[in-house]
Structure 1
Amino acid sequence: MAEESKGQAFLDKFAEVSARIGNQIHLRTLRDAFATVMPLYILAGIAVFVSQVLFPLFLSGDSLSAAQVWGSAVTLGTLNFAAVILAGVLGYCFAVNKHFENAISCVVVGISAFVIMMPQTIVATLGSAVYATNAADKTAATLSYAVDSFSGALGMADGYALSGVDVTGAFATSNTGANGLFGAIIIGLLAATVFIKLSGLEKLKVNLGEGVPPAVADSFNVMIPMLLTLSLFALVAAVLAGFGTDLLTLIATGIAAPLKGIMNAGPWAVIVIYTLANLLFCLGIHQSTISGVLAEPILTMLIIDNMATFAAGQPIPADHYMNMQIVNSFALIGGSGCTFALLLDTFLFSRNKGSKEVAKLSILPGLFNINEPVIYGYPIVFNLPLMIPFVLIPDLLIAATYGLTCAGVIAPCVVQAPWTTPPVISALLATGGDWRAAVWQVIEIAGAMAIYLPFMKVSERAVQKQLELEANAA
């Protein structure tokens, strides 16, 4: 009894600490913001798949180029602007979680602060030079010349060519897109935090009195805090520019790159996080409390990088093989714990009427990776025999899929498919149409069924034994 009590106390403490981590306001805001913008990434993934995989099957030449403008337009408004959108959404979600009344103003502050911290001069790749035919009229008809034509005129040495120029008044997609997501997270949260703190000071509020429209009154109430917040960020940008750098570059090199490296230095970090997350789910606390705040934001950034790389027609780098789509498509088939395999086992091998009834109700949601009916109805929660494969199987599938990707047996994940996409289809979408990935997913389901089966039998015997004991006691 003493050992059992200690074990329960440990589980309770583990659940309490995990819940506190998941409910930390900045981490919770990060999870909420990514959930809000997820449709954009899914749309971008579908557009990339259609433009780069489907269109080339029946179009070519100018027709293909014209059709791919659709995919490029979607990419421009989603992947290439993802960081700017996220900065605003983070501000809003943080305000909601802080119960700040004027949440929309945090959207303005988040986006503005993020743009303020961007470099004012960028290096742009130059494909051709365009100039007006009338020196006095800059709007006159223009001519375009290849860059190489100007090499001699600029006094460049033989063998050299003009490849890039310093440009002002422009934004680089390396800052506004996937590579700027970490900067958007840090700046968006920091700006909203400072702004809300200043907005709480009564001396900084401008009271216009009664009879003023609420929208006008709200904007004046936060006017001075907004001015002070954005001025502070502009001051930081000016100081960093004096040292020849900017905050986005510092974040990308000092924070983003190491964190991405940890997640993609083999599957081990992801396995550890999802082991803890699924164990937590077995105790009745949703796994997103852990995985949703510790792993998914970084893994999502990696698959967003892959989509942009794939859309540009470039090969996926090996340090991006581990990403969110490996987890969603290949390790959570049927939802957390790969419970679709358990449902199939139940239909084929179970003799327990209660389990079969639950399986009948759960199979359709499970096909779309919704498995709360299984977890709480089968149940898996506090069911020791089923807890073991529930935690173990996703770890094995993450490691195996990553290994096969590294070995070139299946293609890397390049599309963020909707998490509700059924098996086989999700594998095809995620890998850009690789049929081998779909075959591998079928093998995964069969393997998971083989692992679940003995534990399911043990669970059913335990349930039967418990019923017998209750009957004898009565």
Structure 2
Amino acid sequence: MNNSKFMDLLERILMPIAEKLNNNRYLTALRDGFLVALPLIIFGSIFVVIANFPFLDEMISEEAFAAYQEALNPASAATLSIMGLFVIIGIGYKLVEQSGGEGVYGGVVALAAFLILTPQVVEDVSGGIPVTAIGAEGLFVGILTAFLAAELYRYFVKKDWTIKMPAGVPGAVSRSFSALIPVTMSLTVFLIIRILFSFTPFDTVQNFIYTVLQEPLTALGGGLPATIVAVLLIQLFWFFGLHGQILVNSVLDPIWYTLNNQNLDAFQAGEELPNIVTKQFIDTFIVGIGGSGMTLAVIVGIFLIGRSRQMKEVGRVSAPAGIFNVNEPIIFGLPIILNPLVLVPWLLAPVVVAVVVYFSMLTGMVPKPAGIIVPWTTPPLLSGFLATGSAWQGAAVQLVSMFIVFVIWWPFLKIMDKQYYETEKQEEAAAAKD
């Protein structure tokens, strides 16, 4: 089957699905909610790169580097670290706005519902909210909460359970009182959910989610089969809005670091390196090519393929951060989270790369990771060179990996770009008629 026939077949299968998904109000609200947060995510991503510029800690004193990071960290702490809040507000706002309601109340009721469910204890001190719970780690619970809260609010408004004010009352005051009962009823539901969970062994909704997800990870270790499972789980968690690296790394880091240290000891002693899969194998040759999902190659694909304004803009704003392995702009801007059109390449590409890199090291074509911890913001090619003890093959296999990811993503990017381009043309035609 030639490339043209393959693309036609893929379009016939995926385009009808894409059309239905594009008209799904929940997915539309989810996409628009992420776009609301995108400017803040990009701002935070830029300063993450600046604050963690590769090898800067070796160029200046430890005290100067600490002061430098302390000065810049609030930029990411106030945006990336709490991105879940912005996405939740955006989803609630857009979902209620779609039905002609007051979007702002959809946003605030979604936020308040999420905060009700969130544990308000930090290191055994009550009255605080863990930052991890309102960042990327809390997105899965946040998305579900925003959907449910907005729908409850819409339901109570539709039932006309509202307070009617006299005609002479200012509009802002009237709308505020109209929202009082729907907001109260909606948030009461979430308070009941929190109370019910407090009587379970999990205590909170968040603990329930993470316990259920993390327990299957404890059986994983080194080796290619375990690595494939770990990579798939990282990708799958990210697809559903959970920070896959944090979930998987929290369980497997002790194993990967142990294997890493064994290689470092052997490298320093001039002996044969015992392990292929190590912490640096994952960080440099999988995650370290643009971030989770190896999205730097996706950005390159966007530059080569993109005709739609949305794709071009996403590529432009994602590229600078992507070079330093910060990929939130592409994950939330494309978007990748809960986008069925990208599920296949999102899951497949890193697995194929993991297999290729593993066997290239097993056969001796590429040196095994030397146990050298390379800063995570080190750009690809340079990171591969350093991680293998200054071997050019380390950079070469990263370049091959990027090509593999690019080839796998190519047809799916073409279809997405076509969908966005046609939608933009329709919107321009409708605007011209008006």
Which interval holds the TM-score relative to the shorter structure? 0.5 to 0.7
Q: Which residue of 1 aligns with 2:206?
A: 248
The question of 1:175 aligning with 2:133 is answered yes
Deviation, structure 1 residue 171: 1.3
- Aligned residues of 1:237 and 1:247 also touching (Cα < 8 A): yes
Select which of 191, 201, 217 maps to 2:174. 217
Q: Which residue of 1 aligns with 2:43?
A: 43
Partner amino acid, structure 2, of 1:56 = D
Alpha carbons of structure 1 residues 198 and 51: separation in structure 2 relative to 1, 3 Å: same
Deviation, structure 1 residue 24: 2.4
Q: Which residue of 2 aligns with 1:32?
A: 32
- Aligned residues of 1:84 and 1:176 also touching (Cα < 8 A): yes
Query: 3-state DSSP class of the match of 2:166?
Result: coil
The question of 1:265 aligning with 2:223 is answered no
Deviation, structure 1 residue 229: 0.7
Query: 3-state DSSP class of the match of 1:335?
Result: helix
The question of 1:188 aligning with 2:130 is answered no
Partner amino acid, structure 2, of 1:69 = E
Q: Which residue of 2 aligns with 1:301?
A: 243
Say which one has the larger Rg.
Answer: 1
- Aligned residues of 2:26 and 2:147 also touching (Cα < 8 A): yes
Q: CA RMSD in A?
A: 5.2
Partner amino acid, structure 1, of 2:208 = L
Deviation, structure 1 residue 219: 1.4
Deviation, structure 1 residue 302: 3.5
Q: Which residue of 2 aligns with 1:77?
A: 78
Alpha carbons of structure 1 residues 174 and 394: separation in structure 2 relative to 1, 3 Å: closer
List aligned pairs for 1:315-330, cutoff 5 A: 321=286, 325-327=291-293, 329-330=295-296
- Aligned residues of 1:329 and 1:427 also touching (Cα < 8 A): no
Return the alpha-carbon distance in structure 1 between the equivalents of residues 382 and 49 of structure 2. Answer: 7
Select which of 326, 331, 352 maps to 2:297. 331
Alpha carbons of structure 1 residues 189 and 397: separation in structure 2 relative to 1, 3 Å: closer
Alpha carbons of structure 1 residues 414 and 45: separation in structure 2 relative to 1, 3 Å: farther
Deviation, structure 1 residue 34: 2.2
Return the alpha-carbon distance in structure 1 between the equivalents of residues 382 and 248 of structure 2. Answer: 13
- Aligned residues of 2:214 and 2:247 also touching (Cα < 8 A): no
Select which of 177, 181, 186 maps to 1:229. 186
Partner amino acid, structure 1, of 2:190 = F
Deviates more, 1:13-22 or 1:440-449: 440-449
Partner amino acid, structure 2, of 1:325 = G
Q: Which residue of 2 aligns with 1:114?
A: 114
Partner amino acid, structure 2, of 1:221 = S
Partner amino acid, structure 1, of 2:229 = A
Query: 3-state DSSP class of the match of 2:244?
Result: helix
- Aligned residues of 1:325 and 1:413 also touching (Cα < 8 A): no
Return the alpha-carbon distance in structure 2 between the equivalents of residues 233 and 449 of structure 1. Answer: 44
Partner amino acid, structure 2, of 1:234 = L
Q: Which residue of 2 aligns with 1:207?
A: 164
List aligned pairs for 1:118-129, cutoff 5 A: 118-122=118-122, 124=123
- Aligned residues of 2:88 and 2:107 also touching (Cα < 8 A): yes
Deviations 1:139-177 (A, max 9, x none): xxxxxxxxxxxxxxxxxxxxxxxxxxx221111123122
Query: 3-state DSSP class of the match of 1:325?
Result: coil
The question of 1:21 aligning with 2:21 is answered yes
Deviation, structure 1 residue 239: 2.0
Q: Which residue of 2 aligns with 1:420?
A: none
Deviations 1:186-216 (A, max 9, x none): 11111111111111112x1222132332222
Deviation, structure 1 residue 101: 2.6
Alpha carbons of structure 1 residues 231 and 269: separation in structure 2 relative to 1, 3 Å: closer
- Aligned residues of 1:263 and 1:269 also touching (Cα < 8 A): no
Return the alpha-carbon distance in structure 2 between the equivalents of residues 210 and 393 of structure 1. Answer: 57
Deviation, structure 1 residue 227: 0.7
Deviation, structure 1 residue 71: 3.3
Partner amino acid, structure 1, of 2:186 = T
Alpha carbons of structure 1 residues 35 and 409: separation in structure 2 relative to 1, 3 Å: farther
Select which of 197, 203, 220 maps to 2:155. 197
Query: 3-state DSSP class of the match of 2:115?
Result: helix
Deviations 1:16-50 (A, max 9, x none): 23432343222232222223323333333332222
Deviation, structure 1 residue 66: 1.2
Query: 3-state DSSP class of the match of 1:171?
Result: coil
Query: 3-state DSSP class of the match of 2:125?
Result: strand
Alpha carbons of structure 1 residues 394 and 17: separation in structure 2 relative to 1, 3 Å: closer
- Aligned residues of 1:332 and 1:394 also touching (Cα < 8 A): no
Deviation, structure 1 residue 111: 1.0
Alpha carbons of structure 1 residues 319 and 116: separation in structure 2 relative to 1, 3 Å: farther
Deviation, structure 1 residue 62: 2.2
Q: Which residue of 2 aligns with 1:63?
A: 64
Q: Which residue of 2 aligns with 1:89?
A: 90
Deviates more, 1:167-176 or 1:222-231: 167-176
- Aligned residues of 1:37 and 1:86 also touching (Cα < 8 A): yes
Alpha carbons of structure 1 residues 397 and 249: separation in structure 2 relative to 1, 3 Å: closer
Deviation, structure 1 residue 8: 8.5
Partner amino acid, structure 2, of 1:24 = N
Alpha carbons of structure 1 residues 193 and 254: separation in structure 2 relative to 1, 3 Å: farther
TM-score of the two chains, using structure 2 as the length reference: 0.57
Deviation, structure 1 residue 112: 0.6
Deviation, structure 1 residue 58: 3.4
Deviations 1:71-93 (A, max 9, x none): 32123212332222322222112
Question: What stretches of structure 2 of length at least 5 have no aligned partner?
Answer: 1-6, 221-225, 251-255, 258-278, 319-343, 362-367, 409-434
Greater strand fraction, Structure 1 or Structure 2: 1
Deviation, structure 1 residue 447: 7.8
Question: What stretches of structure 1 of length at least 5 have no aligned partner?
Answer: 1-6, 125-165, 272-293, 309-313, 344-357, 359-363, 371-391, 416-424, 452-474
